Chain A
């Protein structure tokens, strides 16, 4: 469906197309609604409905099947050993770390939307921040799974943490792998707290509307007795601002620390100073693509088109374009520096990356991440639902391959030709990767069904009707 079709279908309502930019007039962010109650109704009816849409059940069944597959693969791994994966000398990291970096990256868009866009007073974030934050949390859960299971002897995974033990053994704090443990666990905790704090007033809304006893108890318990007191709101707003200010450096640091896992090593193709900003840009790029991938079906399925409008999607596509260009710049700058450095191994690593045994993966990466997103220069493309959906999937695929290329091609061909090798994934590799998507799907679908998917209180506060100095009240 093209944007013009959407316009035609909605003609007759006021404020149906908010994608334009009229100077001197702010674009409306909530369409076809002028009453606070309508917003409450639109969002709460999803959680209050007796039955979810059929598509929800289908998606949930598929995700559940994928989670069972994941569970089987993980158990098989634990009982047999990491040899069930295709890892071997010299490629000791492949799908596991690729998936880890991929999922951590996905999470970044959620924190960017909730924290950085909040500090920049980007009011359009309110339509999408709640489910983008949920996406962050579930993505970090998927990310945390992989380093957890790749250690081999998983029952010793507590060695990652500085826990006093009878061996008087401590972690080695000068290792970026340990920084990662702290970075990712802090990121998860802070994201979860930020998400939950944001949700308390909306859970109270669900509590006050709940009809059944179970709903009243559950929403009542989790809304912590919130009653919208302005004295509470005052501290709440300060706390929210503080959390945003804390999450902002955090989101920039997490993927920087992930990139240190590579950059601090001596391997050609990994040992570069561009990695932290390059990884962060890539993370935001892939994360926004995932938000679009999820937002398009979700707004369709749950009827949230008036709250998650075409303008929101348009804005996200602009961010995808910008970060896609940053990633493209990083790709070319890596090549330039490899040539300019005159370092033999560095030059080889990059020629090998583009033209060596993994040329196909490199080609997928560049065409998905740099070339196709350029379509978003055109407004027609940015506002077309099918095109943005396909492009967001393409970006997700491209970004997965970016991590694969960086990790596998650098390990496969390093200094000594006699130790060169390659990587072929086994069925366990592939099933574990697919299963992680199922885990993400289950979490996300449950969230859509039972929790407020859009930040009610925040969206009400940005409606023109919320202004206490408005001349004509609603």
Chain B
């Protein structure tokens, strides 16, 4: 296979020959500045590739818009989680403290109408703090775990993480990766295209 990285050592290049039977997963291009990747991302967006991504050490301002990333559905999910929390909070208190009904919640449980200092059995104002807390709790957990789930995380490994060069993506380098599963992907053409973007280095990623 061709190694395109200008600073790749011969020993590493020899090492990759042995793996050349492995499937190509994609091609990455390395950039040195946020400005460079921002400009390049616009060009990749316009070139018609679908399965591509930018890998950056911090969220470069507006790069998602530049890439044409659609706004995530996460806030809608979180809204309904909050609604669930509120309902759950009210239901829990009203059931346990204001009724004598029995329901099945994994085991049979019965409510107990607490009469405390002459307050009404259904004293909504006193239920507000717990309703609020459960709303926040469910929303926050959904925001965090929903984000991870939508991102397909956690995962223990990824083809990109095998690359030595890619390790700087969490430090100070910016990468554009075009995946091999893209219908428009053609190893030689994609490589050539990425080189025209002014990348510092271009490297093939294997699965």
Pick the contact of A189 from B64, B123, B140, B172 — CB < 8 Å?
Answer: B140
Q: Chain B residue with minimal CB distance to A202?
A: B170
Main secondary structure of the interface of B (DSSP, over half): helix
Chain B residues with Cβ below 8 Å from A176 are 129
Q: Contact: B57 with A457, CB < 8 Å? A: yes
A224-276, CB < 8 A from B? 224-239, 242-243, 246-247, 249-250, 253, 257, 260
- Which residues of B in the span 120-164 have a Cβ within 8 Å of any Cβ on A? 123, 126-127, 129-130, 132-134, 136-137, 139-141, 143-144, 146-148, 150-151, 153-158, 160-161
Residue of B nearest to A236 (CB): B147
> Which of A164, A193, A194, A460 has a CB less than 8 Å from the CB of B57?
A460
A246 engages B114 (CB within 8 Å): no
Question: Contact at A474–B33, with CB atoms within 8 Å?
Answer: yes
Given A224-B148, A228-B169, A231-B69: A457 in contact with B58 (beta carbons within 8 A)? yes
Contact B171 A37 (CB under 8 A): yes
Q: Tell me if A428 is interfacial: C-beta within 8 Å of chain B.
A: no
Cβ-defined contact, B170 with A225, below 8 A: no
CB <8 Å contact, A225 and B169: no
Checking A168, A174, A249 against B97 with a beta-carbon cut-off of 8 angstroms, the contacting residue is: A174
Interface size range of chain B in the complex: 35 or more
Choose, from A93-101, A178-186, A395-403, the stretch at the interface.
A178-186
From B54, B93, B139, B157, A225 is in contact (CB under 8 Å) with B157
Per-position 1/0 for A452-474, Cβ under 8 A of B: 00001110110001111110011
What are the residues of chain B within 8 A of A231 when measuring CB–CB? 53, 64, 67, 69, 151
Report yes or no: A230 in contact with B35, Cβ–Cβ below 8 A: no
**Interface residue range, chain A:** 35 or more
Asked if A190 is at the interface of the complex by the 8 Å CB criterion, the answer is yes
**A468–B136 alpha-carbon span in the complex (Å):** 35
Say yes or no: B155 contacts A225, CB within 8 Å.
yes
Across-interface contacts of A243 in B (CB, < 8 A): 140, 143-144
The reply on B61 being an interface residue by CB < 8 A is: yes
Does A420 sit within 8 A of B, measured CB to CB?
no
CB distance from B114 to the nearest CB of A (A): 6
Contacts of A409 in B (CB 8 A): none
A201 to chain B: closest residue by CB = B170
| CB of A439 within 8 Å of the partner chain | no
Cβ 8 A contact of B171, one of A190, A208, A465: A208
Say yes or no: A170 contacts B111, CB within 8 Å: yes
Taking CB as reference atom, which chain B residue is nearest A463? B58
Q: Can you report 21 A-B residue pairs in the complex whose CB atoms are below 8 A from each other? A: A36-B58, A164-B105, A170-B111, A173-B97, A174-B97, A186-B134, A204-B170, A209-B167, A221-B156, A227-B170, A230-B67, A234-B72, A236-B151, A238-B74, A238-B75, A260-B129, A456-B57, A456-B58, A467-B35, A468-B34, A468-B35
Residues of A within 8 A of B (CB): 35-37, 40, 162, 164, 168-176, 178-179, 182-183, 186, 189-190, 193-194, 196-197, 201, 204-205, 207-209, 220-221, 224-239, 242-243, 246-247, 249-250, 253, 257, 260, 456-458, 460-461, 465-470, 473-474
Chain A to chain B: the 3 pairs with minimum beta-carbon distance, closest first: A224-B154, A239-B147, A468-B38
